[in-house]
Amino acid sequence: MTMNPAPTTRPENPNFSSGPCAKRPGWTLEALSDAPLGRSHRAKVGKAKLKEAIDLTRDVLEVPADYKIGIVPASDTGAVEMVLWSMLGARPVDMLAWESFGEGWVTDVVKQLKLTDARALTAPYGALPDLTQVDFSHDVVFTWNGTTSGVMVPDAEWIPADRTGLTICDATSAAFAQKLDFAKLDVVTFSWQKVLGGEGAHGILILSPRAVERLETYKPAWPLPKIFRMTKGGKLIEGIFEGETINTPSMLCVEDYLDALKWAKNVGGLSALQERSNRNFEAIAQWVHNTPWVDFLATDPVTRSNTSVCLKVVDADVTSLPADAQAAFAKAIASGLEKGGIAYDIGAYRDAPPGLRIWCGATVERADVEALTHWLDWAFTEAKAALPKAA
C-alpha cells in the first residue's frame, strides 16, 4: 500500500511554460485555416492581416490612439534591442534590473553600446530596486514583470508625469495580464508568446509621441543594422506601424496572433484577461498560504507576479542541504511531473535561484492550476522520500 497516493484529478492542459505559453482554451490548428500561406506579406492580403493584428492589439490592450504600434522581428528581445540601439545615448540612462532579462539589457548598454553615463540600479532575485532612486531626467529602462524572478512593479505611481527622459518598458510577460499605465510609458515592448499564447519569433513595439520625437531628432553615434532602423531622412518610417514590416513575418504566426486577439475580445477584453490571470494566481497563493514547504520567491506580496509565478522550497530538511542538492531537489519535482504528463516546463529559469516557475497567464484555466497544486504536494513528498536518510 502506497504511503503517498497520487491525486485523482490531472490538469486537462499540462502546459505551464513561461514562454511560449499555453494556447488559448479550445485552440486547434483549424483556427489558422485562413492564414495566407505561400503569399507575400507585402501582398494586399498579407498587409491587411498585419494591419488587422496592429488594430486589434490597440483595441484589446487599450493603447492610446496617438501611440504607434509595430510588428518587429526577433520577439520581445528584438523589440527591446531596436529601442536601445536607436534611442539611447541622447541623455544619461538608468537601467533597472532584478532578474536575468533586465540584467541582459544592462549588459547591452554598458558593454555593447558602452554608454559611460549609464547607471545600473539592481536588486537580487525576489526584490525590486529602490525605485525612489530613479532619476527621471535620465532615460529609464526596466522590465514591468521579471519573468525569471516573479517580481513585478505593482503600478506606475513611481513614474512622474513631468519626466524629461523616456521610460522604456519591457512588458513581455505583463502585457494583457497586468495594468500598464501608457501615460507613464514612452516605449512598451512584448511578444505574442506570453499572455496570449502566440507563437515565438515576433515582437510588438509601441511608441509614444515623445518616443517618436526622439527617433526623429536624435541620431546615435554608432551604425544601425537594417532591422533596427525606424527612420529615414529624419522621419519615422510610418509603414512599419501600418503593417509593412521590416523583415518577413510568418503569416501562420500572424494568423495565430489574430486568433488569440479575437478570443481575448470574446472573453471580455483586457479586464477579463487580467481577471483570468489574477484568479490563476489566487489559486497558487491560497495553496502557498496553506503549504509549509513552499513560498514565493518575491518577498513583498504587492510585487508578486500574476503570470510567471516563481516559488522556492523552504522545507528545513531541504534548505539544510548543499546548494547543488537543493537545486537537484527542485528539479526532481519538476521532472517527476513532466514524466507523468502532469506539468511541463515548471523548473526555475537557468539563471534564477533553484525552485519552480508556474505560468498563470490568461490562457491557463484556474481548474488546471488547482489540480496542479495537489500534484506539487505529491511530487514534493516523493522527492523528499528519495533523500538520503541521515546516519
pLDDT tens, residue by residue, 345-364: 999 999 999 999 999 999 99
Strands 202-207 and 68-73: antiparallel
29-265 and 269-385 agree in CATH topology:
no
Distances (CA, A) of 372 to 113, 190, 369: 44, 27, 5
Q: Which residues, including other chains, have CB under 8 Å from residue 49's CB and lie 6 or more apart?
A: 36, 243, 251, 254, 255, 258
User: Which one is the CATH code of 269-385: 3.30.565.10, 3.30.365.10, 3.90.1150.10, 3.50.50.60?
Assistant: 3.90.1150.10
The domain spans of the chain are 29-265, 269-385
Q: How far apart, in whole angstroms, are the C-alpha atoms of residue 356 and residue 303? A: 17
Give the predicted TM-score (pTM) of the model: 0.97
Tell me if 60 sits within 8 A of 264, measured CB to CB: yes
Q: How far apart, in whole angstroms, are the C-alpha atoms of residue 63 and residue 71? A: 15
pLDDT score, position 342:
98
What H or E segment, with its residue span, contains residue 345? Answer: none
Give the dihedral of Cα atoms 42, 44, 49, 52; nearest 10 deg. 110
CATH of domain 29-265: 3.40.640.10
Percent of the chain with pLDDT over 70: 99
Mean pLDDT of the chain: 97
Cis peptide bond prior to 220, omega within 30° of 0: no
Secondary structure class of 58 (helix, strand, coil) = helix
Contacts 24+ apart (CB under 8 A), 320-327: 321/387, 323/354, 326/354, 327/354
pLDDT tens, residue by residue, 142-200: 999 999 999 999 999 999 999 999 999 999 999 999 999 999 999 999 999 999 999 99
Residue 95 phi/psi, 5-degree rounding, is -105, 120
pLDDT tens, residue by residue, 38-66: 999 999 999 999 999 999 999 999 999 99
What are the b/e assignments for 91-109, b being 16+ CB within 10 Å?
Answer: ebbbbbbbbbbbbbbbebb
Distances (CA, A) of 200 to 20, 28, 231, 249, 251: 6, 17, 26, 11, 12
Cα 75–Cα 79–Cα 81 angle in degrees, nearest 5: 115
pLDDT score, position 389:
79
Residue 391 has pLDDT above 70, yes or no: no
Q: Please state the rounded mean pLDDT for residues 265-293.
A: 98
pLDDT score, position 3:
82
